[in-house]
Structure 1
Amino acid sequence: MSAPIRSKRRTIADIKALKGVRPIVSLTAYTAPMAQFLDPHVDFLLVGDSLGMVLYGFETTLPVTLDLMIAHGAAVVRGSKAALVVVDMPFGSYQESREQAFRSAARIIAETGAQAVKLEGGEEMADTIRFMTERGVPVLGHVGLTPQLVNVFGGYKTQGRNQAQVAKIMADAAAVADAGAFGFVLEGTLEPVARDIAARAPVPVIGIGASPQCDGQVLVTEDMLGMFNEFQPRHVKRYAELGVEIGKAAAAYADEVKARTFPAIEHTFQPKA
């Protein structure tokens, strides 16, 4: 009897090799069940600190803790088989020093089983990225609109609207790649600027609110599934309206409970004859 075929989880090398071959597919996941649904369709799953807003109702990502990211990262690893798993490093877990960053990343990798971490920042984080990658921690960078700097930006504002911003994003992208990141997320950047960065970068550029010409795309899954009815960011395309369907299902359930049509006899446990 032959041994069962086990699906092989994608590696950093696999992701890097896709640049110039085909677009890289990524979505966020925060739980094991969602990871199971998404796993067959994506190249990597991002356990984003956006979970603070999506799951916990925070106004920003800033209150998210390292322990919280580790708990959700481990759940996503358990729920997936084939996709590479990247876990966000939350605000305050890496900015103090490169040593702090390595310790935080080492905890994430060891306690979750994820293959890489993601951190925000460009030139100012290049030395930290180099320190981490030289010690065996794969890093996905994040430049352009960086949500952890929402208070510095004065909100979630599109980047690349003037020459100073363009020059900074270009310099940040180059610095992150030169420091050893295997790729970087480019968020909230004017399309022509994002297109130019993707063409120049030696590593995969994963766009979100950037350009179709990026080497890959990532979206917050709950945005893509239409689970937030009150707001739809410009960069999001809704592929389903699950929020509406969940509301309909809850309403139908409530009506049946009130009418005593649920549970029916077939939903109960009866004594054996």
Structure 2
Amino acid sequence: MAGEILDNQGRGEASWRWPAIHPEARKFAAIAAVLCALFAFLAWETVAWPMGLLVFCICAFFRDPQRVTPQGDRYIVAPADGLVTLIQKVPPPRELAIDDGSAAARLGEAPVTRISIFMSVFDVHINRAPIGGTVRRVIYIPGRFLNADLDKASEENERQHILIERGDGTAIGFTQIAGLVARRIVPFVKPGDMLAAGQRVGLIRFGSRVDVYLPEGTDSRVLLGQKIVAGETILAEIGQAGPIEGIMQ
């Protein structure tokens, strides 16, 4: 049940359930289903079966499972499912750093830790808010469609920046980046919206990446090569810094 409280002392009820399918899937699945039915009617089974498989793949891609988001003022949770492919100190994007004259929060120009999360076509592509707060900026930038795994994709690919400000003034910026196959970034939020941590904010169709910019003085609590889950994995704790090592095995 949405909104149910679960904790580390056993409170609540947890069970496996089929994930919901996001409405964005409807038109793609409907087209594939119609083609499947047409080819089946024409007895073109060698084409009808792959089209039927395509319907299943589309529904799987747009799956929208429920997530249990850790609650805590210091937690920054993952905005995307996927693989941590880059952790670097970089200046924030200009669109999130400059003063736009609105007196709203911005990230500043000092280098901060950026965590890049690569989403393959097998990952859930619904993106979620890393913190609770007010959406201050949503900035779409057209661009190229390079491999989202490349570092330069952060500056050259089609992308959308989102900035969220907490009540205490702490701001977190993150960027949805289109990849080789992705051709559309779909936002669910706009400036002024109030969000809870883990709330759905958008999706990127068919393989992509999300970059998260941590506040100054905060280091990643996840490791390079780690597989993470949107709305559940704690990326960082605000104000916590220092190296963490892992062993691939």
TM-score when scaled to structure 2?
Answer: 0.27
Q: Which has the higher contact order (CA 8 A, sep 6+)?
A: 2
**Which structure has the larger Rg?**
1
Going by fraction, where is helix more abundant, 1 or 2? 1
Going by fraction, where is strand more abundant, 1 or 2? 2
TM-score when scaled to structure 1?
Answer: 0.25
